[in-house]
Amino acid sequence: MHVGEIGEVELIWQIRSLVDKFQKKALVGIGDDTAVIKGKGNHLFLFTTDTLVEDIHFKWRFISAYQLGWKALAVNISDIAAMGGYPTFALVTLGLPPRTLLSTVEDIYRGMQDLSLKMDVEIVGGDIVRSPIFFITISLLGEVEDQRIILRSGAKPGDRIYITGDIGAAATGFICLNKKEISLKPESREFLEKRHLMPFPRLKEAREISRKKIATAMIDTSDGLSSDLYHILEESNVGAEIWEDKFPVASQTKEVLSRLNRSFSEVALAGGEDYELLFTAVPDKNVEEILNFQVTMIGKIIEEKGLWLVNKEGERKRIKPGGWDHFSKKI
Amino acid sequence: MHVGEIGEVELIWQIRSLVDKFQKKALVGIGDDTAVIKGKGNHLFLFTTDTLVEDIHFKWRFISAYQLGWKALAVNISDIAAMGGYPTFALVTLGLPPRTLLSTVEDIYRGMQDLSLKMDVEIVGGDIVRSPIFFITISLLGEVEDQRIILRSGAKPGDRIYITGDIGAAATGFICLNKKEISLKPESREFLEKRHLMPFPRLKEAREISRKKIATAMIDTSDGLSSDLYHILEESNVGAEIWEDKFPVASQTKEVLSRLNRSFSEVALAGGEDYELLFTAVPDKNVEEILNFQVTMIGKIIEEKGLWLVNKEGERKRIKPGGWDHFSKKI
């Protein structure tokens, strides 16, 4: 049996079953945005890693080295943020074909450095290896106060589902990168492409959510709304209903998708890489007022298992998780 | 300028200069076996990563999946040990071609798990990514009591140089793997090949060295004696003289090398992958008696910069660092 045949979800369950029985000291192992380790005092350590492989997760003809460095660090910070924590120290591994330009390596570091200064992360080491294809792996440490941690497993029936920012811009940006022939205002193209190439991790927003103890469960949207929400549903053992007419969508996203006759809902549900925060909160909290940034209520947690989409016509249909099928999965 | 042209040492200096100026909170960044981070109380955190890439660092026709899992974790634990610390939590990233067998992934995890149980390490997560070639990256956290940390930078003129175990067995094992035609007792072949395929990290020995405060500087031998000693010399700003007739060599290593007419010294100096501890100690310590495992004095630290080999004929000649040129370097 090849790993390509069994699929990533099943593969991770196999690995989880091999690893879980040896878990004694870690508070959270495989199954959340990051591992959680007991620290001293009232702090917990968070520990995560993400890899981007040439031609699988990115193409050099679309992304600059600076942007790639930024993005590789951003997606790791986003995982730490989704736990309610803050990032601290990073290790960077570069797999380099020997013909890689020195300036490429320098630009990758500049991209990482610019984001790391904004996010107060230090790059403290790593590994440089020869490889026939380029890849970058970042491992990131973070911390969170024990009263402020937000897991995927805390959602309860009745909770409302919220998302920061808007949905589908990164996936639409990816479409734009592939279709240079779409005529679009340069600002709109830049806005959308940048959402795909240089996601800005919602660290400040996540810290406010954890400080104000608003969320019962949280994840960052990396695989697409349906897949990411499914992770919360599985870990919390609940179901959910989401309302298509409430999805927050940027006007630029709408413009491109309507011009291409693409269903917004399909892109939003399966698109991925927005790196927004998807979280649940008890129904009596007035979340939009408590938080001083844009969040939108897009559904609610229900007892009945599964994910249900209520579309603009009011029809309720069951949907399956379906994000990027790029065979890349945090474990 | 390609990274293949400038070489790994220069590349790391370039990266170090880009990263070092932003180092504020880390106690040790690039330039030692692991990064060192201030913890709470009297503990320091150690943070390291190592990658093995198919056909660059290993070949599937020589190593089993179980052995590869073991080795990938072993080389990381060895880095933590070389700081005087102990490992705690690991993240594992696998780059997998889609046709990888599920049983291969399971065997990799079994190899890691068997070593992790012996070394009291927990695997708490990671990442699974599709990749045209196989690679494995492990990131490892560890701790060390602040009075017990051993850096590369503490060697002083007059200090003696010691090594645990023996030298050159792993490199000789690698030669055996490549030359199946050498007729050799099966036990000798197994001994040597295992030293290459399944190094056993010197964690217990390193902890005893740090508990008894014996070493002024320490590193694990991964790149070959000359390269690894050079790292100590550079970080400590000193030179060294090593004595060829004192090098500890296993009888199996001697047998193979003499049969192949290979100079032992060349293999020992450039061979690498022994994962022994190379350390320095003040001259008045009776190190061999204080420690209850095999260590051998092989030279001394001198003021004059550079590395000098005194060969069996008593000739003193200057040697340059020259380990595996596999373009893989911890930063």
Q: Is the pLDDT of residue A323 over 90?
A: no
Task: Kindly report the number of other CB atoms within 10 A of residue A42's CB atom.
Answer: 10
Closest CA to B27 of B142, B130, B151, B204: B151
Closest CA to A219 of A31, A7, A20: A31
β-pair type (B328-330, B160-164):
unpaired
Average pLDDT of the residues in A163-186: 94
Q: Is the pLDDT of residue B301 over 70?
A: yes
A8 compared with B192, residue with greater pLDDT: B192
Which residue bears the tokens 């440089």?
Answer: A128
Alpha carbons within 13 A on the beta-carbon side of A172: 33
What is the rounded CA–CA span in Å between residue A179 and residue A273? 18
Q: Is the pLDDT of residue A262 over 60?
A: yes
What is the rounded CA–CA span in Å between residue B119 and residue B142? 11
Q: Tell me: the pLDDT tens digits for B100-136?
A: 999 999 999 999 999 999 999 999 999 999 999 999 9
Q: Is the pLDDT of residue A280 over 90?
A: yes
For residue B329, give Cα distances in angstroms to A233, A261, B22. Answer: 42, 50, 21
Q: Which of B6-10, B61-65, B136-140 has the lowest mean pLDDT?
A: B6-10
Q: Which of A43-57, A290-304, B75-89, B261-275 has the lowest mean pLDDT?
A: B261-275
Map out the domains of chain A as residue ranges: 31-148, 160-319
Distance of CA A82 to the CA centre of its chain: 8
Average pLDDT of the residues in A226-241: 95
- Percent of all residues in chain A with a pLDDT value above 70, rounded to a whole number: 97
Q: Is the pLDDT of residue A325 over 70?
A: no
Identity (one letter) of the amino acid at A295? V
Q: Is the pLDDT of residue A109 over 70?
A: yes
Q: Is the pLDDT of residue B328 over 90?
A: no
Which residue bears the tokens 């099943």?
Answer: A10
CB pairs under 8 A between A and B: 272
Alpha carbons within 13 A on the beta-carbon side of B48: 27
Q: Is the pLDDT of residue B222 over 80?
A: yes
- Note whether B8 contacts A: Cβ–Cβ < 8 A: yes
Which residues make Cβ contacts (< 8 Å) with residue A262, sequence separation at least 6? A175
A146 carries a ligand binding annotation: no
Q: Which of A136-150, A315-329, B56-70, B121-135 has the lowest mean pLDDT?
A: A315-329
Residues of chain B found within 8 Å of residue A1, distances taken between Cβ atoms: 101-103
pLDDT value at position B11?
86
Q: Is the pLDDT of residue A41 over 50?
A: yes
Is residue B232 a contact partner of residue B157, using CB atoms and an 8 Å limit?
no
ipTM of the complex in this document: 0.93
Strands laid side by side in the B43-53 sheet: A328-330, B122-130, B86-96, B135-145, B43-53, B35-38, B26-28
Note which residues in 106-125 of chain B have CB less than 8 A from chain A.
106, 109-110, 113, 116-117, 122-125
Q: Which DSSP string do the residues of B97-138 spell out, in sequence order?
A: -TT-BHHHHHHHHHHHHHHHHHHT-EEEEEEEEE-SS-EEEE
Q: Tell me: the pLDDT tens digits for B146-188?
A: 999 999 999 999 999 999 999 999 999 999 999 988 889 999 9
Residues of chain B found within 8 Å of residue A23, distances taken between Cβ atoms: 122, 124
pLDDT value at position B331?
53
pLDDT value at position B265?
82
- B31-148 CATH fold: 60s Ribosomal Protein L30; Chain: A; (3.30.1330)
Largest CA distance in chain B: 58
**Minimal-distance CA residue of chain B relative to A31:** B125
Beta carbons of B89 and A26 less than 8 Å apart: yes
Q: Is the pLDDT of residue B31 over 90?
A: no
Beta carbons of B37 and A124 less than 8 Å apart: yes
- Note whether B30 contacts A: Cβ–Cβ < 8 A: yes
- Note whether A9 contacts B: Cβ–Cβ < 8 A: no
Beta carbons of B133 and A132 less than 8 Å apart: yes
pLDDT value at position A265?
82
pLDDT value at position A326?
43
pLDDT value at position B30?
87
pLDDT value at position A216?
98
SS3 category, A186 = helix
Q: Which of A9, A38, A47 to mutate to test the interface with B (most CBs of B within 10 A)?
A: A47
- What per-residue string of b and e applies to A269-287 under the rule 16 or more CB within 10 Å gives b? bbbbbbbbbbbbbeeebeb
Beta carbons of A3 and B48 less than 8 Å apart: no
Q: Is the pLDDT of residue A331 over 60?
A: no
Beta carbons of A327 and B129 less than 8 Å apart: yes
- Percent of all residues in chain B with a pLDDT value above 70, rounded to a whole number: 97
What is the rounded CA–CA span in Å between residue A87 and residue A99? 33
Which sign does the torsion angle of CA A13, A14, A15, A17 carry?
Answer: positive
Q: Which DSSP string do the residues of A114-162 spell out, in sequence order?
A: HHHHHHT-EEEEEEEEE-SS-EEEEEEEEEEEGGG---STT--TT-EEE
β-pair type (A160-164, A295-302):
antiparallel
Q: Tell me: the pLDDT tens digits for B211-220?
A: 999 999 999 9
What is the rounded CA–CA span in Å between residue A229 and residue A215? 14
- Chain B closest-CA separation from residue A68 CA (Å): 16
Structure letter (DSSP) for residue B325? -
pLDDT confidence bin for B330, thresholds 50/70/90: low
Q: Which of A114-123, B37-46, B102-111 has the lowest mean pLDDT?
A: B37-46
What is the rounded CA–CA span in Å between residue A20 and residue A264? 39
- Note whether A146 contacts B: Cβ–Cβ < 8 A: no
Average pLDDT of the residues in A176-185: 91
pLDDT value at position A24?
83
Q: Is the pLDDT of residue B329 over 70?
A: no
Same topology, domains A31-148 and A160-319? Answer is no
User: B64 exposed, middle or buried (CB, 10 Å; 0-12, 13-18, 19+)?
Assistant: middle
Phi and psi for A48 in degrees, rounded to 5?
Answer: -145, 160
Residues of chain A found within 8 Å of residue B110, distances taken between Cβ atoms: 18
Which residues make Cβ contacts (< 8 Å) with residue B53, sequence separation at least 6? A95, A129, A130, A131, B133, B134, B135, B328
What is the rounded CA–CA span in Å between residue A138 and residue A254? 34
Structure tokens of A269?
A: 């549900």
Note which residues in 222-261 of chain B have CB less than 8 A from chain A.
none
pLDDT value at position A292?
92
Phi and psi for A9 in degrees, rounded to 5?
Answer: -65, -45
What is the rounded CA–CA span in Å between residue A87 and residue A2? 36
Q: How many helices (H) and strands (E) does chain A have?
A: 11, 13
* Angle at the Cα of B38 from the Cα atoms of B27 and B145, rounded to 5 degrees: 105
Beta carbons of A105 and B6 less than 8 Å apart: no
Which residues make Cβ contacts (< 8 Å) with residue B237, sequence separation at least 6? none
CATH class of A160-319: alpha beta
Closest Cβ–Cβ partner in B53, B110, B127 for A330: B127
Residues of chain B found within 8 Å of residue A128, distances taken between Cβ atoms: 8, 11-12, 15, 327-329, 331
Q: Which of A171-175, A302-306, B204-208, B270-274 has the lowest mean pLDDT?
A: B270-274
Is residue A39 a contact partner of residue A88, using CB atoms and an 8 Å limit?
no
pLDDT value at position A21?
80
Residues of chain B found within 8 Å of residue A102, distances taken between Cβ atoms: 1-3, 6, 11, 14
Which residues make Cβ contacts (< 8 Å) with residue A201, sequence separation at least 6? A74, A75, A77, A78, A81, A119, A220, A275
- Chain A closest-CA separation from residue B240 CA (Å): 27
Per-chain mean pLDDT for chain B: 92
What is the rounded CA–CA span in Å between residue A162 and residue A288? 9
pLDDT confidence bin for B145, thresholds 50/70/90: very high
A78 compared with B319, residue with greater pLDDT: A78
Q: Which of A3, A134, A151, A152 to mutate to test the interface with B (most CBs of B within 10 A)?
A: A3
- What per-residue string of b and e applies to B268-281 under the rule 16 or more CB within 10 Å gives b? bbbbbbbbbbbbbb
- Chain B closest-CA separation from residue A97 CA (Å): 8
Beta carbons of B105 and A23 less than 8 Å apart: no
pLDDT value at position B325?
42
Task: Kindly report the number of other CB atoms within 10 A of residue A315's CB atom.
Answer: 9
What is the rounded CA–CA span in Å between residue B220 and residue B197? 17
pLDDT value at position A257?
93
